[in-house]
C-alpha cells in the first residue's frame, strides 16, 4: 500500500500566507497609531464618524476628518492669570468638554452613553453636575454616566477601561496628570475601540503626550443677550488649537473667541465685546444757557 507523501510546498505557502497576514496587520496597526492620512480605517472598529466644532475656520485646521473618533483629545488651560479664578478656569474647561460631547452625539446614528470620570475629591471641591444646567446646554442626562472613584490611582484605570468599550459615545476624564506610558495606553485603547477620549487637565500641568489634538481653553466674557440686554448671553471661550496630529505642519497658534449656541448645539465665532461710551445724540437738546435765561426773564 503506497504511503502518502506530505505536501511540503503547500505547507510552505500556508506559512508564508500566515506570515504576510501578520505583517500586514502590524503595518495597519502602526498606521493607525501614527494617524496616517491615507489610512481609511479598514478593519478598525469605529464608534461613528468624526465630529467638529461647527466653525469653519477652526474645523479647517483639523483636516477633512475633523476630530478623530479613535483618539485622545486634551483640554487644558494656562496658569490662572489676568484675574481669572481657578474655579472659572475649571468650569470653562469642563463646559467646553461637555459641549464637544454634545457635538459628538449629533453625528452618531443612535444615542450612546457618555462616561464622565470625575474624582470624588474634585467632585467635593467643585460640586456635583447640575442636571438642569446640563439640559440647558443640550445634554440629556439619561445619556450621561458619572463615575466618581475614591482613589486617585483608580481614575486612569476607569478611563482606560471605559475607552476600551466601543458602545460608548465618548469618555470624559478629569485627571491631575497622565504619564507617557498611560497616555500611550489610552491612545491605543481609543484607536482599537473607536471611542474618543477627552482629557480635562488642570492648570500648569505638562501637556499629555500621544494626543490627537490639544486645546487651550480660557473663559471669556459673554456678550449681552440680543433679545434682553439685562439677560446673560451665550457662554464664551477663548480657544486655541495647540496640537493636531492629523495636520502637524499647520500653524495652530491663533486664538479664537467662540461662544456656544444652546439652540443649534454648535459653536460660533463670538462678536467683539467691548465697553463703549454712549455716542452723543445729535437730536438731544442741550441744556439751556443760564445767562440767556436771565436776560429773557429780566
pLDDT of residue 235: 87
In sequence order, which residues have a C-beta less than 8 Å from that of residue 225 and are 6 or more positions away?
231, 232, 233
Which pLDDT belongs to residue 268? 92
- Considering 97-106, 129-138, 199-208, 267-276, the range whose residues carry the highest mean pLDDT is 97-106
* DSSP symbols for 117-171: E--HHHHHHH-PPPHHHHHHHT--GGGEEEE--SSTHHHHHHHHHHHT-TTSSEE
Residue 123 region, left (φ>0) first, then alpha (ψ -120 to 50), else beta? Answer: alpha
The span from the CA of 152 to the CA of 204, in Å, is 19
> pLDDT confidence of 171, banded at 50, 70, 90?
very high
Please enumerate in sequence order all residues whose Cβ is within 8 A of that of 109, keeping only pairs 6 or more positions apart, or say none. Answer: 48
Q: pLDDT at residue 73 above 80?
A: yes
Cα(265)–Cα(261) distance, integer angstroms:
5
Q: How confident is the model at residue 290 (pLDDT cuts 50, 70, 90)?
A: very low
- Over residues 261-289, the mean pLDDT reads 59
- Report helix, strand or coil for 181: helix
pLDDT tens, 34-65? 443 333 333 333 444 679 999 999 999 998 88
Q: CA-to-CA distance for 272 and 266, rounded, in angstroms?
A: 19
pLDDT digits (tens, 9 = 90+) for 8-37: 555 556 666 777 777 777 666 655 554 433
What is the C-alpha to C-alpha distance for residues 181 and 184, in angstroms, rounded to an integer? Answer: 5
pLDDT-derived band at 211, boundaries 50, 70, 90: very high
Per-residue pLDDT at 218 exceeds 70: yes
Q: Average pLDDT of 255-275? A: 81
What confidence score (pLDDT) does residue 227 get? 77
How far apart are alpha carbons 160 and 179 in whole angstroms?
A: 13
- pLDDT given for residue 213 in this prediction: 94
Per the prediction, the chain carries an average pLDDT of 78
* Cell numbers describing residue 88: 472659572
pLDDT digits (tens, 9 = 90+) for 228-249: 777 777 888 999 998 998 888 7
206 or 84, greater pLDDT: 206
When mean pLDDT is compared across 77-86, 181-190, 197-206, the lowest value belongs to 77-86
Query: What pLDDT, on the 0 to 100 scale, is given for residue 102?
Result: 94
What are the start-end ranges of the H helices in the chain? 8-34, 56-62, 86-107, 120-126, 131-137, 153-163, 180-193, 290-297
Contact 53, 256 (CB under 8 A): no
Contact 234, 259 (CB under 8 A): yes
Domain boundaries defined on the chain: 66-216
Would the CA dihedral through 113, 198, 94, 138 be positive or negative? negative
pLDDT in tens, 158-167: 999 999 999 9
Distance (Å, rounded) from C-alpha 262 to C-alpha 233?
Answer: 11
Q: In angstroms, how far is the first alpha carbon of the chain from the final one?
A: 149
User: In this structure, are residues 173 and 159 in contact, taking their beta carbons and an 8 Å threshold?
Assistant: yes
The residues that bridge with 244 in the sheet, in sequence order, are: 213
CATH code of 66-216, in short, is 3.40.50.300
Residue with more model confidence, 236 or 274: 236
Amino acid at each position: 500500500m503506497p504511503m502518502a507523501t506530505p505536501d511540503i510546498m503547500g505547507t510552505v505557502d500556508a506559512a508564508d500566507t500566515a506570515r504576510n497576514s501578520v505583517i500586514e496587520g502590524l503595518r495597519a496597526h502602526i498606521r493607525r497609531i501614527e494617524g496616517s492620512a491615507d489610512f481609511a480605517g479598514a478593519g478598525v472598529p469605529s464608534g461613528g464618524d468624526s465630529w467638529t466644532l461647527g466653525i469653519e475656520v477652526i474645523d479647517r485646521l483639523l483636516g477633512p476628518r475633523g476630530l478623530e473618533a479613535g483618539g485622545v483629545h486634551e483640554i487644558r488651560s494656562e496658569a490662572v492669570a489676568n484675574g481669572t479664578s481657578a474655579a472659572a478656569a475649571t468650569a470653562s474647561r469642563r463646559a467646553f468638554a461637555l459641549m464637544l460631547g454634545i457635538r459628538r452625539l449629533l453625528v452618531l446614528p443612535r444615542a450612546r452613553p457618555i462616561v464622565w470620570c470625575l474624582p470624588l475629591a474634585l467632585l467635593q471641591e467643585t460640586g456635583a453636575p447640575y442636571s438642569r444646567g446640563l439640559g440647558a446646554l443640550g445634554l440629556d442626562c439619561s445619556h450621561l454616566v458619572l463615575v466618581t472613584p475614591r482613589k486617585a490611582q483608580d481614575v486612569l484605570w476607569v478611563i482606560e477601561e471605559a475607552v476600551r468599550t466601543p458602545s460608548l459615545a465618548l469618555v470624559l476624564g478629569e485627571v491631575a496628570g497622565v504619564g507617557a506610558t498611560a497616555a500611550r495606553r489610552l491612545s491605543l485603547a481609543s484607536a482599537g475601540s473607536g471611542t474618543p477620549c477627552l482629557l480635562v487637565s488642570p492648570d500648569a500641568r505638562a501637556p499629555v503626550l500621544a494626543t490627537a489634538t490639544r486645546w487651550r481653553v480660557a473663559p471669556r466674557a459673554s456678550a449681552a443677550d440680543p433679545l434682553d440686554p439685562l439677560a446673560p448671553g451665550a457662554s464664551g471661550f477663548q480657544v486655541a488649537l495647540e496640537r493636531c496630529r492629523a495636520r502637524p505642519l499647520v500653524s495652530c497658534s491663533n486664538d479664537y473667541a467662540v461662544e456656544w449656541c444652546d439652540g443649534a448645539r454648535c459653536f460660533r465665532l463670538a462678536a467683539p465685546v467691548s465697553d463703549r461710551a454712549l455716542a452723543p445724540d445729535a437730536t438731544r437738546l442741550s441744556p439751556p444757557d443760564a445767562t440767556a435765561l436771565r436776560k429773557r426773564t429780566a
